[in-house]
């Protein structure tokens, strides 16, 4: 029940009481004109009763007037205020305002509510502005990435055109100059062309990684065979640099489900870096082991090492470390791409290193991608 209704009931009841009092007064003292009152009633008692009825009647009259004034001044304004607020709440229109002219507490309350509405309107405007700014920024970023990817694609195409014939020719030269004095020269050209080709592919892969089009082709593969082959192929390169490169592999490793080409790319990148950043006389070791449901591969070197602060940014794209090794550093693509490839396998990559003591780069990937366990013979050792 609303306050207004309750008030009306109270006023009605008081009004009825007043009528009853007036009736009694007229019944006993006014209409029959006797001041003595009913027979047997003492004159003084009658006077007291008369006075009391008058006081109660005057009280009721005063009460009725007060409540009616209150109703007009407070309750009707309160109802207007509450209707106004309810209207705003229902429409959700926070630009609307509560209108309650005057200088009383209710008008002050209406002013406060309007202040709150204005603050809400302002913060909503700011939020909308922020949202629009964020959307524009996101769009700009996307445009930038797309432009960069387009540029990289064009660059890769331009670079591949001359590199492909150099690779093919140097391969041919290598065969032709077998056992000839110029064989070493041909080998250098071939190696340089292959490295350049690998760098170009990394550029394209990184661009694909940025727009999420870098995909894996997971198949059952034999990691032990692959790792041993990689080490055998890289050994001569390390030897030419005066380093030793060895594989320390367990007697058997299970068949895993991974993208063999990408797996090899990661291992080769870690090995090439180890060769690049280890002085002559240094030692490079490749290890692999099964840890739970994962295969962990690590490449340890006794090279120049990496400081703690440098390790933090190592896997970010285009972060080659400058300082004293500027001459040796490249574009900083390899590790960020390796990270991307390992993560696509749902694995992780990390480094432990001490400046001037050497580094150990490790990565760990699940033996089998989810849902593929049943399809392949996991557990088959080789």
Interacting residues toward ligand ADP by CB under 6 A:
269, 273-274, 277, 301, 303-304, 306, 314, 320-321, 325, 329-336, 359
Work out the number of other CB atoms within 10 angstroms of the CB of residue 19. 12
Least distance in angstroms from the C-beta of 277 to ligand ADP: 3
Question: Smaller CB distance to ligand ADP: residue 169 or 362?
Answer: 362
Buried/exposed code over 277-294 (b: 16+ C-beta within 10 A; e: otherwise): bbeeebbbbbbbebeeeb
Q: How far apart are CB 348 and ligand ADP at their closest, in Å?
A: 16
- Choose between 228 and 362: whose C-beta lies nearer to ligand ADP: 362
Strands (E), the chain: 219-221, 244-248, 256-258, 283-291, 294-301, 348-354, 358-366
Residue matched to tokens 């990435």 = 145
Residues 159 and 198: their CA atoms lie apart, in Å, by 11
Cα torsion for 209, 211, 212, 215, to the nearest 10°? -60
Nearer to ligand ADP (CB atom), residue 263 or residue 277:
277
Closest residue to ligand ADP in the complex (CB): 330
Min dist CB 138 to ligand ADP, Å, is 27
Which 3 state secondary structure label does DSSP give 296? strand
Chain mean position to CA 133: 18
- Smallest gap from Cβ 137 to ligand ADP, in A, equals 28
* Residue with Cβ nearer ligand ADP (117 or 275): 275
Name which of 205 and 301 has its Cβ closer to ligand ADP: 301
Listed residue (267, 274, 266, 279) closest to 245, CA to CA:
274
Q: Which two tokens stand for residue 109?
A: 């309350």
Structure tokens at 116: 């709150």
Q: Which two tokens stand for residue 191?
A: 């190696």
Nearest approach, Cβ of residue 365 and ligand ADP (Å): 19
| Shortest separation between residue 245's beta carbon and ligand ADP, angstroms | 13
* Residue with smaller CB distance to ligand ADP, 314 or 341: 314
């Amino acid at each position: 029940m609303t306050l207004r209704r309750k008030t009306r009931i109270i006023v009605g009841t008081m009004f009825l009481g007043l009528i009853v009092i007036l009736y009694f007064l007229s019944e006993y003292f006014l209409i029959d004109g006797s001041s003595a009152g009913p027979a047997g009633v003492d004159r003084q008692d009658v006077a007291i009763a008369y006075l009391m009825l008058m006081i109660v009647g005057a009280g009721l009259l005063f009460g009725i007037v007060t409540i009616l004034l209150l109703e007009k001044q407070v309750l009707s304004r309160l109802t207007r205020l509450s209707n106004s607020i309810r209207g705003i709440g229902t429409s959700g229109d926070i630009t609307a305002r509560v209108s309650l002219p005057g200088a009383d507490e209710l008008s002050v309350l209406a002013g406060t509510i309007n202040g709150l509405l204005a603050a809400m309107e302002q913060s909503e405007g700011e939020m909308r502005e922020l949202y629009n700014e964020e959307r524009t920024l996101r769009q700009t970023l996307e445009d930038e990435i797309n432009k960069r990817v387009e540029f990289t694609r064009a660059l890769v195409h331009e670079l591949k055109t001359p590199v492909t014939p150099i690779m093919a020719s140097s391969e041919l030269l290598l065969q032709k100059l077998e056992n000839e004095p110029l064989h070493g020269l041909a080998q250098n050209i071939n190696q340089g062309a292959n490295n350049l080709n690998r760098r170009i592919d990394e550029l394209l892969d990184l661009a694909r990684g940025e727009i999420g089009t870098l995909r894996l082709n997971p198949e059952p593969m034999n990691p032990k065979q692959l790792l041993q082959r990689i080490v055998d192929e890289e050994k001569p390169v390390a030897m030419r640099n005066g380093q030793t490169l060895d594989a320390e592999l367990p007697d058997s490793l299970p068949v895993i489900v991974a993208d063999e080409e990408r797996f090899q790319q990661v291992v080769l990148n870690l090995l090439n870096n180890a060769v690049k950043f280890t002085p002559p006389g240094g030692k490079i070791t490749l290890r692999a082991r099964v840890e739970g449901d994962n295969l962990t591969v690590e490449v340890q070197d006794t090279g120049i090492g990496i400081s703690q602060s440098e390790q933090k940014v190592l896997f970010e794209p285009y972060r080659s470390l400058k300082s004293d090794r500027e001459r040796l550093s490249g574009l900083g693509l390899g590790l960020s791409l390796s990270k991307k490839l390992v993560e696509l396998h749902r694995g992780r990559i990390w480094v432990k290193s001490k400046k001037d003591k050497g580094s150990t780069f490790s990565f760990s990937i699940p033996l089998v991608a989810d849902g593929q366990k049943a399809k392949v013979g996991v557990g088959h050792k080789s």
